A = this chain, B = another copy of it.
Amino acid sequence: MKKELVAVVLAAGSGKRFWPFRHDKNLFPMLGKTYFDFTVRDTLPKEISSVVLIVSEKNAAQFAKTEFGIPCTRVVQKEGDGMSDAIVAARDALQGKSILVIIADDVSDPLMFRRVLDTAGKRVFGVLPAYRTRTYFPGGYIAFSGQRPIGIVEKPGEGKEPSAFVYFGGQYIEDADTLLDALLAAKTDRDDVYERALTALMKSHDFAVVPQDEPFVSLKNPWHVLDVTDYLLHHRLIPGQGKRVDIHNNVVIEGDVYLGNNVRIFENTKIVGPVYIGDNTIIGNNNIIRDSYIGADCVTGFNTDITRSYIGDHCWFHSNYVGDSVLEGNVSMGSGSVLANLRLDEGEIYSVVRKEKVHTHRTKLGAMIARDVRIGVNVSIMPGVKIGSGSMIGAGVTLDADLSEQSFCVAVKNGYDVKKNTKTVTIPAARNAYKSKI
């Protein structure tokens, strides 16, 4: 690499597919940081000398104070513009440089950027990280001629994939000016300008692909929070504990676990890592907590089971089962309420995203609940249900569809009849038999 290296960080994702959550997806709190810290800030290679941060009109304010320790130019991508428009808009900061295009949605092995730059050193013009797909994924597939990448086909459709490889965040381009010219030449009103520009460049320049067998994880839909949480808990969790942690009698802790300041864990509870528990959170008696992120200032109460879930700050529980679910924050669940995570037929769980029924590719998926939700006692929420913020769900409801923001959902009137009880209630003699037996 002879030129200066600039990181172009794409963080303008609209998040329209991320409903019901209200956090900007890139700034979703994760393990005491934000998702963006893991995908970008903590993983920027040392060769990067400056950053071009591309944000949206909607999230610009939230990124206003993001620093990288090196010079940063901020570009606001207009609503409706694509990724290539954003790169073109940043052209002043890119001219005469090499670039590493980082997609803030994507998290992968922190060594991947290293491998891309090492490959870049071997006299190629462009490098694409790509992972081997097992099922169809609506992304950019790489077409090869022998070992040589010759193009990218954006969302080819199932059965029409040119190879098994989909490229993801971390592309290296030797010369930004050449890329900018290609982007301008490829410009249409479709959303695959970037991919078509790369395809055009591949005709005249050498590209290499850095393959990854493991799928990368990208934060698009709300259930991807589970994939991301799982990835970070397994790959980025630093076990340990903060100050004034208080662990009562007969608590079992296994695997990698981080406990924040002032965490308290009461009797007869088991924590099976990887688990992250944020500051001031109280884990009650007789709980089981497995493979989960729990934020700060939560109380799990008595007899709660949280498994493979993301629990944001200020959530309260009491004798609940929370499996494969995402609670954004300030959600309370009444005693006996359950977030079901498995269909009776154990089939795939679908979700409605922007009015379209989509695959989640999951047979285990609980609820996705936005901030500021209250759930009564003995409520049952069906697998894959999404709940908008500010909603309340009354006792005894079995909720089997998404709920929009600020909904109030109650069991219908006349759920019971009252008649005359003609029997007399006395203290049963049988109880003495019980008592004498045990």
Residue numbers of A with Cβ under 8 A of B are 248-250, 252, 264, 266-268, 270, 280, 282, 285-286, 288, 297, 299, 302-303, 305, 314, 316, 318-319, 321, 330, 334-336, 338, 340, 342, 344-346, 363, 372-374, 376-380, 382, 389-400, 403, 406-412, 414-428, 430-431, 434-435, 438
Interface contact B416-A394, CB-CB below 8 Å? yes
Q: Is B435 a contact of A408 with CB atoms below 8 Å?
A: no
Residue pair A376, B380 in contact (C-beta under 8 Å): yes
Contact (A377, B380) CB under 8 Å given A344-B392, A395-B398: yes
A252 in complex: contacting residue of B267, B396, B423, CB < 8 Å:
B267
Jot down 29 A-B pairs with beta carbons below 8 A, ordered by A: A282-B438, A285-B288, A286-B288, A299-B431, A303-B303, A314-B431, A319-B321, A321-B336, A330-B426, A330-B427, A334-B340, A335-B338, A338-B378, A340-B395, A344-B393, A345-B392, A372-B424, A372-B425, A378-B379, A391-B421, A398-B416, A399-B416, A403-B418, A407-B421, A408-B418, A408-B420, A410-B417, A411-B415, A412-B417
Q: Which residue of B lies closest to A345 (CB)?
A: B423
Residues of B within 8 A of A423 (CB): 345, 392
The smallest C-beta distance from A296 to any residue of chain B, in angstroms, reads 11
Which of B302, B321, B412 sits near A415, CB closer than 8 Å?
A: B412
Contacts A268-B270, A394-B416, A406-B421 aside, 17 further interface pairs with beta carbons under 8 A come to A267-B268, A270-B285, A282-B438, A286-B288, A302-B305, A316-B431, A330-B427, A338-B395, A340-B395, A345-B374, A345-B392, A346-B428, A378-B378, A390-B425, A406-B420, A407-B420, A408-B420
Which of chain B's residues have a CB closer than 8 A to the CB of A378? 336, 338, 378-380, 398
| Shortest beta-carbon distance from A434 to chain B in Å | 7
- Which residue of A338, A425, A427 has the most chain B CB atoms within 10 A of its CB atom? A425
Set of chain B residues within 8 Å of A398, measured between Cβ atoms: 378, 394-396, 411, 415-416
Residues of chain B within 8 A of A305, CB atoms compared:
302-303, 318-319, 335
Complex: A342 Cα to B301 Cα, angstroms: 14
Point out the residues of chain B lying under 8 angstroms from A336, CB to CB. 321, 336, 338, 378, 380
| Bound: A415/B410 CA distance, A | 9
**Bound: A390/B406 CA distance, A:** 39
**Chain B neighbourhood of A425, CB < 8 A:** 330, 345, 372-374, 389-390, 392
Closest residue on chain B to residue A388 by CB atoms: B421
Q: How far is the CB of A341 from chain B (nearest CB, A)?
A: 9
Q: How far is B392's CA from A428's CA once the two chains are assembled, in angstroms?
A: 15
Q: A336-B338, A380-B377, A411-B415 known; A252 and B252 CB under 8 Å?
A: no
Q: Is the CB of B396 within 8 A of A421?
A: no
A282 CA / B431 CA spacing, docked (Å): 12
List, in ascending order, chain B residues with CB within 8 A of A321's CB.
302, 318-319, 335-336, 377
Q: Are A376 and B428 in contact (CB under 8 A)?
A: no
Set of chain B residues within 8 Å of A389, measured between Cβ atoms: 425
Most chain B CB neighbours (cut-off 10 Å) among A285, A297, A377, A426: A377
Which residue of the partner chain B has the closest CB to A404? B418
In chain B, what residue has the closest Cβ to A424? Answer: B390
A374-B425, A407-B421, A421-B406 known; A380 vs B392 contact (CB < 8 Å): no
Q: Which residues of B contact A335 (CB under 8 A)?
A: 305, 321, 338, 340
Query: Cβ of A346: which chain B residues have Cβ within 8 Å of it?
Result: 374, 428, 430
